[in-house]
Amino acid sequence: MSGYLALLGSSFEFFCLVILDLERFALAGQPHWDELEATLQRLENDPDRGFHDLAAAQRFHYLYQRAASDLGRLASFSAETSLRRRLEGLVARAYAELHSAREARDTRWRPLVWLLETFPRTFRRHAGAWWLAVAVTLLGSVVGAFLVAADPEAKASLLPFGHGEMNPSERVAKEEAGRSKGLANRRSSFAAELMANNIRVSLKAVAFGLTWGIGTLAILFYNGVILGGVMLDYLRAGEGLFLAGWILPHGSTEIPAIVLGGQAGLMLARGVIGWGARVPLGRRLRAIAPDVATIIGGLALLLVWAGIVESFLSQYHEPVLPYWLKITFGVANLAILGAWLFLCGRGPTPED
Amino acid sequence: MANSSAVHLQRAPALVIRLPEGVDFALPLAGPMARFLALLVDFLVEMAICYVLGTVLQVLAVLSFDVMRALFVLMYFLVPMLYGVVCEWWLRGQTIGKRMMRLRVMDATGLRLRFSQVLLRNLLRPVDSLPACYLVGGAAFFLSRRGQRLGDLAAGTIVVRLPEDDDEPDLSPLGETGKYNSLSDHPVLAARLRQRVPAAEAAAALAALARRNQLEPAARVEVFARLAARFRALVTFPEESAADLSDEAYVRNVADLVFRRPALPERFKLQAPSLKEAPKG
């Protein structure tokens, strides 16, 4: 009976509001809008706190529905712009809070969990893109090596950073005799330049995923060409040991990091192309975006480490640092990276 | 998002979000000029940040020139790259430039903006800026129904224009406040009229009143005759209140009823009942 009376009362109120009394409508709604505003403010300031109990969540849902309903009633009043704008703002914010809650239950960022679980899991979830990026880089290396072997003159135009004009044996002799100008007094700035350049290249590999992956594949391939060309140049000159001691310490992190950039770019490309997915482009990209962001975070971290190693370790050669030590460091680096990417976070996920 | 909700485009440059509750609201999309100006302001802010930080970093040269140079390199790389990410995350979708131009980055489906979206839309700028001066991004903007550059498309974001605080209509064409309005003698009909007059028609009436002295006499008569006929068709007032009014006076009275009401919030805040009265759940 009381429910019936309440319904009758609200119907009467509705009749009065719609036909007669905008003032009364706003008078009835104001406390609820204020309460919704306060709740939203609290949720937005501390998104992870959420609601302390079910009743509070239900109350929030009620306030949202009431505000949405009020907005619907107000739609026909042409001059109530400020009130309508306030209600639109409230409803939009409440809608975002309510429906986003399904996607992100906990937005707090835990660095260790991210490092040891989220990133490696994300990496393995898209292992296909990783292996494709590895294959394209290897293909580029083979082509680079072939081009340098077939036409030594091509070296000058293929290899950047002065490698084209450099004779490997002369460089090794100079470095080992300590006659190279090297990086004396500029190791920190060299490390910074390497980090910035490598992160820039990797981010380009990610970004060019939007060109259906063509740009990403081109960057990976060209990176492989340089790598293959330089390697063949040093191997042909009989400087394999120097090459391993020079490249392995930082390359064991830097090269996989750039390939990770390629992986993220190919993930994006898959979202753009939409193989096997019968959902709109926007939704496909929306689904892949968090994983791409995670991979970007991981590759940035790796490139910072690679920059430090390249600047403070790779550029020291025998007799300052024995090659076996540098090679051991590089192999250990690679093993740890492999373990991190392929073994970490293999336990049950929070969803399980 | 709930199944019953949908996002679609109006003919006007706005994203309309239809809630599962059956209510629509529109988010006006930012235009190219506003976005360009925001970008320009942000560029200047980035330069200013680099200048200030650079001045501070020069002190480090006393300790180590190499370290200072390294920090310079990192600063000129990181500030432009992270400025957008940090601002848009902490200022909820706004950079300083966007705040000045009253723009905001939003999720394209109206949901909460996620960090991954902010990161992605900012880190994908290299593609949008190709081959120079954001030509690719600009082309994508004009080709996209939602005015999205490629970074926005990948991140699932849009840039909306926030309404002005002071976009209340100019009511001076209505004359003095408090002038007698015979239509207001019938509050029920007046309320019904307020509800039924569409926003566009109310704005047209106000514009006609503002420009009445610039119209040719014949055009003036015709414009107000049409408007009055339209308003009379929406709500019929008793003869004694409406019969003696010219078409122009009728339109003026209608506009007065529609636009001139005491500001709602102040009055209601004074009379607001206790929150306890609201039903729970």
* Minimal Cβ distance to A100: which of B112, B123, B273: B112
Interface test with B, best of A30, A69, A198 (most B CBs within 10 A): A30
CA distance B96 to chain A (A): 20
Cα–Cα distance measured from residue A344 to residue A335, given in angstroms and rounded to the nearest whole number: 13
When pLDDT is cut at 50, 70 and 90, the band that residue A165 belongs to is low
**Bigger pLDDT: B21 or A328?**
A328
Q: Do B197 and A78 touch (CB under 8 A)?
A: yes
pLDDT digits (tens, 9 = 90+) for A176-224: 776 655 556 777 787 788 788 888 888 889 988 988 999 999 999 999 9
* Minimal Cβ distance to B281: which of A59, A85, A292: A59
Q: Is B108 on the interface with A (CB under 8 A)?
A: yes
Q: Do A215 and B127 touch (CB under 8 A)?
A: yes
From the list A180, A172, A141, the residue with the least C-alpha distance to A158 is A141
CA-based max dimension of chain A? 100
Residues above pLDDT 70, as percent of chain A: 83
Q: Is A59 on the interface with B (CB under 8 A)?
A: yes
When pLDDT is cut at 50, 70 and 90, the band that residue A329 belongs to is very high
Which of A328-332, B136-140, B249-253 comes out lowest in average pLDDT?
A: B136-140
Cα–Cα distance measured from residue B112 to residue A94, given in angstroms and rounded to the nearest whole number: 10
Which positions in chain A touch B269 (Cβ < 8 Å)? 30
CA distance B148 to chain A (A): 11
Is the pLDDT at A141 greater than 70? The verdict is: yes
pLDDT digits (tens, 9 = 90+) for B168-198: 667 777 777 767 788 878 877 887 887 778 7
* Minimal Cβ distance to A32: which of B167, B263, B278: B278
Cβ proximity of B15 and B158 under 8 Å: yes
pLDDT digits (tens, 9 = 90+) for A16-32: 444 446 677 777 888 88
If you count residue pairs, one on A and one on B, with CB atoms under 8 Å apart, how many are there?
A: 207
Q: Do B71 and A30 touch (CB under 8 A)?
A: no
Interface test with A, best of B4, B25, B85, B121 (most A CBs within 10 A): B25
Q: Do A293 and B69 touch (CB under 8 A)?
A: no
Cβ proximity of A231 and A263 under 8 Å: no
Is the pLDDT at A40 greater than 70? The verdict is: yes
Which positions in chain B touch A204 (Cβ < 8 Å)? 126
Could you give the 3-state DSSP secondary structure of residue B176?
coil
Domain segments of chain A: what residues? 15-100, 111-343
The pLDDT value given to residue A122: 94
Token digits of residue A348: 């049950």
The pLDDT value given to residue B69: 86
Cα–Cα distance measured from residue A344 to residue A120, given in angstroms and rounded to the nearest whole number: 6
The pLDDT value given to residue A126: 94
**Bigger pLDDT: B281 or B20?**
B20
Q: Do A289 and B114 touch (CB under 8 A)?
A: yes
Domain segments of chain B: what residues? 32-161, 172-261
Is the pLDDT at B265 greater than 60? The verdict is: no
**Which amino acid would we find at residue A306?**
A
When pLDDT is cut at 50, 70 and 90, the band that residue B280 belongs to is very low
From the list B190, B189, B186, B182, the residue with the least C-alpha distance to B259 is B190
Is the pLDDT at B13 greater than 80? The verdict is: no
Per-residue CA distances from A113 to A117, A120, A239, B240, B252 (Å): 5, 10, 42, 78, 67
Q: Is A95 on the interface with B (CB under 8 A)?
A: yes
Q: Is A320 on the interface with B (CB under 8 A)?
A: no
Which positions in chain B touch A193 (Cβ < 8 Å)? 73
pLDDT digits (tens, 9 = 90+) for B76-110: 888 988 999 999 998 888 999 999 998 999 888 88
**Bigger pLDDT: A205 or B11?**
A205
From the list B33, B34, B27, B32, the residue with the least C-alpha distance to B9 is B27
CA distance A259 to chain B (A): 17
When pLDDT is cut at 50, 70 and 90, the band that residue A44 belongs to is confident
Cβ proximity of A295 and A123 under 8 Å: yes
Q: Do B22 and A72 touch (CB under 8 A)?
A: yes
Can you say how many angstroms the Cα of residue A195 is from the centroid of all Cα atoms in its chain? 17
Please state the rounded mean pLDDT for residues A256-273: 93
As a whole number of Å, the CA-based R_g of chain A is 30
Q: What burial class does residue A351 get, using C-beta atoms within 10 Å of its C-beta: 0-12 exposed, 13-18 middle, 19+ buried?
A: exposed
Q: Which residues of A, range 60-79, sit inside 8 Å of B by Cβ?
A: 62, 65, 68-69, 71-72, 75-79
Per-residue CA distances from A143 to A95, A183, A208, A228 (Å): 54, 31, 22, 7
The pLDDT value given to residue A128: 94
Is the pLDDT at A8 greater than 50? The verdict is: no
Is the pLDDT at A52 greater than 80? The verdict is: no
Q: Which residues of B, range 132-191, sit inside 8 Å of A by Cβ?
A: 150, 153-156, 163, 167-169, 187-188, 191
Backbone angles phi, psi at B280, to 5 degrees: -85, 150
The pLDDT value given to residue A162: 65
Cα–Cα distance measured from residue A268 to residue A291, given in angstroms and rounded to the nearest whole number: 10
The pLDDT value given to residue B164: 67
The pLDDT value given to residue A80: 65
* Minimal Cβ distance to A68: which of B23, B64, B116: B23
Q: Where are the beta strands (DSSP E) in chain B?
A: 6-9, 14-18, 24-28, 103-107, 157-161
Is the pLDDT at B38 greater than 90? The verdict is: yes
**Bigger pLDDT: A153 or A79?**
A153
Cα–Cα distance measured from residue A188 to residue A180, given in angstroms and rounded to the nearest whole number: 18
The pLDDT value given to residue B205: 86
Cβ proximity of B150 and B137 under 8 Å: yes
The pLDDT value given to residue B276: 36
Cα–Cα distance measured from residue B241 to residue B181, given in angstroms and rounded to the nearest whole number: 9
The pLDDT value given to residue B39: 92
Is the pLDDT at B235 greater than 70? The verdict is: yes
Token digits of residue B267: 């009055």
Q: What residue of A is the nearest CA neighbor of B137?
A: A210
